[in-house]
Amino acid sequence: MRSSPVTESVQQPGQPDQHTYRRAADYVAAALIFLRDNVLLTEPLRPEHLKARLLGHWGTCPGITMVHTALNTLVRERDADVLLVTGPGHGAPALHANLWLEGTHEDYDPALARTAAGLRELARRYCAPDGFPSHLAPSVPGTMHEGGELGYALATAFGAALDAPDRIVACIVGDGEAETGPTAGAWHSTKYLDPVTGGAVLPFLHLNGFKISSPTVFATMSDEELTALFRGYGWDPRIVDVTGDPPGDPLGAAVLDAHTVLRDLQDRARSGDKPVRPAWPMIVLRSLKGQGSPAEVEGKAIEGTFHAHQVPLPDVHDDPEQLRALEGWLRSYRPQDLFDADGRPVPDVLACVPAGAARIGAQPAANGGRLRRPLSLPPLRPYAVDVAKGPGTATASPTRVLADWLAELMLSSAANRDFRIVSPDELASNKLDAVLAASGRAYVWPVEEYSEDLTRDGRVMEMLSEHNCQGWLQGYLLTGRHGLFPTYEAFAPIVDSMVNQYAKWLKASREVPWRTPVSSLTYLLSSEGWRQEHNGYSHQGPGFINNLLNRKSSVTGVYLPPDANTLLLVMEELLDETGKVNIVVAGKHDAAQWLDLDAARAHCRAGASAWPWASTHDGEDPDVVLACAGGIPTVESLAAADMLRRDLPEARFRFVNVVDLCALAPADRHPHGMADDRFRDLFGDDTPVVFDFHGYPSAVHQLIHGRPNPDRFHVRGYAEEGTTTTPYDLLALNGTSRHDLAITALKYLGTRHGRAAALAGDYALRRDRLRAELRHTGTDPAEITQWRWPA
């Protein structure tokens, strides 16, 4: 066995010994992976001292500690306000080690005191049932990003820096993570960060050579190539090579120099000398994979290779040579010099740690709910659509109505700068551009004169990268602010994986007593699939709803407001809410409006309700229920109801609209679920239900599972049919047109009404003739486009 020697400290007079601190942190990180007892090696290491299951990732830990140590220096010497976002969150042992050494762990849980007993307890909890997971998590102080799926740290860091002028967000980006598409796009975020109103992001691109078992792209690049690449992105890179563990503190010096540059950039901008193309400093850190671990064991190279990525000595329980190697490795840090007889870190170690609230693990923004201030939401009534003349008599674009209200919200939140809208260049397309009168689009770099509504300090952020928008908003919300994410419905699934991770973070946060809830993340999906007949098949995709419904019900919500007034009320509720991920689907085109503000408020509070003015059962048990969820389904269902009222007046049906989709679920499965008696009042026990749904029918079937006789629900929805065609033809292709709904209802009415079968045949014939006509004219017939609900 060959071991890598630990470089002796070269300490400047009067300065804390960074190498001693790093030895202590690396020792603790390695101990967390391997040991359950004898955590300070006060006796010879034996197999019974080892954990039964060895879990964790050692390879990135030494680099994370190097960054943490350098940031400690920055905090101590410059009184900097530093928030750390760790992309390689699988290097959790290093973060735990630093949190334990600085005493933050002990602040949150005295059982994790800086003693031998506290370290033993920390080791016991790491990767243990009811303990800390292998990755970073909400239960880890000072964290706001798990890093469980690589690629999202940098965008999240920029979100945390927005509108926080004194904050420095340090972001560790692993070299494997740097290969991902989301990270590639996130490097452009400097072009949106205003040095006057925003803080700064200081990235550390950590190059240690390998992913799980193959080289990383960035580690194979030369210093010249890396410099050229990042200068092209607009950064000012500094390359620090510590592969030989050089004396002194080159990384700390580079961080202090970067801090000088970024503060100078901010000071000049805030004094009126705004830089034309601000180049923010960044650090490229070269180190060995698993630096400090054995160089070679049993003829296999470890340090500096992919064998150091996870557990470098996987057979230590049964292989005496590996056990000797582990003991030699751990003793090479000289724990007897780092901890006193009680297991407390010695003064030379503690001298490197900032004091009190300045510690990185105690950063308030990492528990952003404590910083959150409720938004001052404008009143809705001045913006509500007037439907005093009756349902369907007024026409409006729901998103245009909402945009006027959001514009006032933008103005009212301007003083606090705590509300932002992020969107992939789609505000104008989704008819939300009225907000630009209140706050322009953020952009810092110079642009052509003909570009509109751009301003350096804008709080609308548009970039054709859903990943960046998601990351920005996550970072903004997690640090105590508010926001909204409007996008095309078909392209929201681009961030499926990110919302999965974020919903898991929120679910886990609810289980941490000291975590304070942050503002909910709300997606506004417009340009919805039923009006993408002009773009075609690629733009028709309501599956984002299904993805969210598979997340924990305590942190999810799905809303389908049928008109502008319900959209206003839903948005008012969600922008005041905390701790959830919500989807709101709303139309952007002018359409009939159904409910006045008071009726809409009652409807939204109920989640689902019967509309008596569209029903015919007159208080008796209905023959069938016509139900719907979504703007277009509401129109088609009402049109079907109108047809049945006219052509089969003796039929009894109840019309039900669902605005909160999760209200369909049983109350024991979702917090929004209706009680059984309310569900029965709307849908009966065995009454047939024809349900026209905005998305995939499977979403409704998933929610009503467990309700009485769910097979009686005949759910119509998107069936993966249609391309560039007309709106009515798209509906007919998917079996959701008014004629198809009426035909389905007549199937259940046929047992009581003899004319039902013949009428169904007439409707089918009329549907087919309409489709033939539109193929001749290229547009929907007036019978469809000019239909109105009868007064």
Q: Would you say residue 86 has pLDDT above 90? A: yes
Read off the pLDDT of each residue in 733-746 and give the average, rounded to a whole number.
Answer: 97
More confident residue, 627 or 274: 627
Handedness of CA 367, 354, 284, 168 (dihedral sign): positive
Q: Do domains 381-585 and 610-785 have the same CATH topology?
A: yes
Angle at 675 between CA 670 and CA 681, to 5 degrees: 135
Report the 10 Å Cβ neighbour count for 689: 24
Read off the pLDDT of each residue in 143-159 and give the average, rounded to a whole number.
Answer: 93
- pLDDT reported for residue 2: 39
Handedness of CA 34, 37, 43, 47 (dihedral sign): negative
pLDDT tens digits for range 539-572: 889 999 999 999 999 999 999 999 999 999 999 9
pLDDT tens digits for range 638-687: 999 999 999 999 999 999 999 999 999 999 999 999 999 999 999 999 99
Read off the pLDDT of each residue in 493-506 and give the average, rounded to a whole number.
Answer: 95
More confident residue, 14 or 307: 307
pLDDT > 70: percent of the chain: 98
**Residue 96's closest CA among 127, 71, 117, 130?**
127
Q: Would you say residue 390 has pLDDT above 60? A: yes
pLDDT tens digits for range 408-446: 999 999 989 999 999 997 799 999 999 999 999 999 999
- pLDDT reported for residue 451: 83
- pLDDT reported for residue 9: 39
List the domain boundaries for the chain. 2-365, 381-585, 610-785
Round to whole Å and give the CA distance between 341 and 27: 17
Region at 172 (left for phi over 0; alpha for psi -120 to 50; beta for the rest) = beta
The contacts of residue 415 (CB under 8 Å, 6+ apart) are none
- pLDDT reported for residue 749: 86
**Residue 645's closest CA among 685, 669, 613?**
613
Locus of tokens 């929805």: 717
- pLDDT reported for residue 537: 87
Report the 10 Å Cβ neighbour count for 372: 18
Q: Would you say residue 580 has pLDDT above 80? A: yes
- pLDDT reported for residue 529: 86
- pLDDT reported for residue 244: 86
- pLDDT reported for residue 425: 79
pLDDT tens digits for range 688-731: 999 999 999 999 999 999 999 999 999 999 999 999 999 999 99
DSSP 128: S
Read off the pLDDT of each residue in 300-309 and give the average, rounded to a whole number.
Answer: 93
pLDDT tens digits for range 48-83: 999 999 999 999 999 999 999 999 999 999 999 999
Q: Where are the alpha helices (DSSP H) in 384-531?
A: 398-412, 466-478, 496-509
pLDDT tens digits for range 21-49: 999 999 999 999 999 999 999 999 999 99
Structure tokens at 565: 């007034």
Residue type, 684: G
Residues 247/7, Cβ–Cβ less than 8 Å:
yes
- pLDDT reported for residue 754: 79
pLDDT tens digits for range 744-786: 999 998 777 778 899 999 999 999 999 999 999 999 999 999 9
Round to whole Å and give the CA distance between 170 and 254: 13
- pLDDT reported for residue 558: 98
- pLDDT reported for residue 6: 43
Q: Place domain 381-585 in its CATH homologous superfamily.
A: Thiamin diphosphate (ThDP)-binding fold, Pyr/PP domains (3.40.50.970)
- pLDDT reported for residue 13: 44
**Residue 728's closest CA among 757, 769, 689?**
769
Read off the pLDDT of each residue in 344-348 and give the average, rounded to a whole number.
Answer: 97
610-785 CATH fold: Rossmann fold (3.40.50)
Q: Give the pLDDT band (50/70/90) at residue 247.
A: confident
Question: What top-level class would CATH report for the domain 2-365?
Answer: alpha beta
Q: Give the pLDDT band (50/70/90) at residue 283.
A: very high
Strands across the sheet containing 454-455: 454-455, 441-442, 460-462, 419-423, 482-488, 521-526, 581-585, 556-559
Q: Would you say residue 1 has pLDDT above 70? A: no
Q: Give the pLDDT band (50/70/90) at residue 738.
A: very high
Chain Cα centroid distance, residue 493: 12
pLDDT > 90: percent of the chain: 91
Half-sphere exposure (CA, 13 Å, Cβ side) for 395? 7
Pairing of strands 689-693, 713-716: parallel
Q: Give the pLDDT band (50/70/90) at residue 534.
A: confident
pLDDT tens digits for range 158-204: 999 999 999 999 999 999 999 999 999 999 999 999 999 999 999 99
- pLDDT reported for residue 147: 84
Mean pLDDT, all residues of the chain: 94
Round to whole Å and give the CA distance between 410 and 269: 24
- pLDDT reported for residue 448: 82
Pairing of strands 294-297, 81-86: unpaired
